[in-house]
Structure 1
Amino acid sequence: MKALRTRSQERILNLLKTTKQGTSAQDIYVELRNRNQSMGLATVYRSLEALKLEGLVQMRTLANGEAVYSLAQQDKHHLTCLQCGMSIPVNQCPAHALELELQATHKFKIFYHTLEFFGLCTQCQLAHTAEASHS
């Protein structure tokens, strides 16, 4: 059964369909205002939460603590640098078989999963090594 969605939820879904990467609730709020479809920031957050519980939107927390939202079309995997915040998408999924097993074993409906590794990118490693050698 398809859930009835509010006009606000539909506007947010339509906006997310046009974005290539995750976007913050604040950016969604600003972009909707720019499109003359403004709504309150609290409404943006409530709508995102409802869409997330429906399995249509996924949330990812960046290294800086900011939450970004995107359509839950596919599983997302990243290498994220703790220093500069750069995030590199990883296309292979080592957890797919585990997801299927967990879904069957626990009778749990999984909408999506995320897998994220945190560390230092090449540039930040070089900078860190250079700083350490000057100390």
Structure 2
Amino acid sequence: MKTQRTRSQEKIFHLLKTLDSSISAQDLYIELRKRKQNIGLATVYRSLDALKLQGVVQVRTLSTGESLYSLVQQDQHHLTCVNCGQSVLIDECPVHDLEDRLEKSHHFKVYYHTLEFFGLCDRCQGMTGPLEG
């Protein structure tokens, strides 16, 4: 069953289609204003939530607590530095088989998954000195 989208949801969906990276709700709101789309910030958040529930938008929460939104295209995995916030996209995914098994065993439709490792990048490791283990 296809869900009917509101005009605000459609505008946000189409804007996300034009972007090549994830974006925060605040920045999405600013971008919509630049494009003369008069949508309030609360409506942006509600629309993003509705699109997420439809399985077309994914959200990634950074170590800073900021949420970034993008269209569900492919699973993305990252190495994220907890000091400087640098995030590096990694191509490997060790959980695709697990995802398939979970869908079958729990009768659960997975829209997407995220995998993120948190630590210190090379530069930040050099600034803090040798790591103690």
Q: Tell me the equivalent position of 1:43.
A: 43
Q: Matches of residues 83-94 of structure 1 in structure 2 within 5 Å?
A: 83-94=83-94
Deviation sequence 1:60-91 (CA, Å, 0-9, x none):
10111101100011111100000000000011
C-alpha distance in 1, partners of 2:129/2:16? 39
Native 8 Å contact 1:75 1:112 kept in 2: yes
Native 8 Å contact 1:78 1:88 kept in 2: yes
C-alpha distance in 2, partners of 1:5/1:99? 28
TM-score, length-scaled by structure 2: 0.95
TM-score, length-scaled by structure 1: 0.94
Q: Tell me the equivalent position of 1:107.
A: 107
Give the ranges of 4+ consecutive aligned residues of structure 1 lying more than 3 Å apart after TM superposition. Answer: none
C-alpha distance in 2, partners of 1:50/1:109? 17
Query: How many residue pairs are counted as aligned between the two chains?
Result: 131
C-alpha distance in 1, partners of 2:127/2:99? 38
Q: Matches of residues 29-108 of structure 1 in structure 2 within 5 Å?
A: 29-108=29-108
Native 8 Å contact 1:21 1:70 kept in 2: yes
Q: Tell me the equivalent position of 1:22.
A: 22
What SS does structure 2 have at the residue aligned with 1:94? coil
C-alpha distance in 1, partners of 2:120/2:66? 19
Say what the alpha-carbon RMSD is for the aligned residues.
Answer: 1.2
Find out whether 1:119 has 2:93 as its counterpart: no
C-alpha distance in 2, partners of 1:62/1:38? 28
Unaligned runs of 5+ in 2: none
C-alpha distance in 2, partners of 1:122/1:63? 18
Native 8 Å contact 1:29 1:38 kept in 2: no
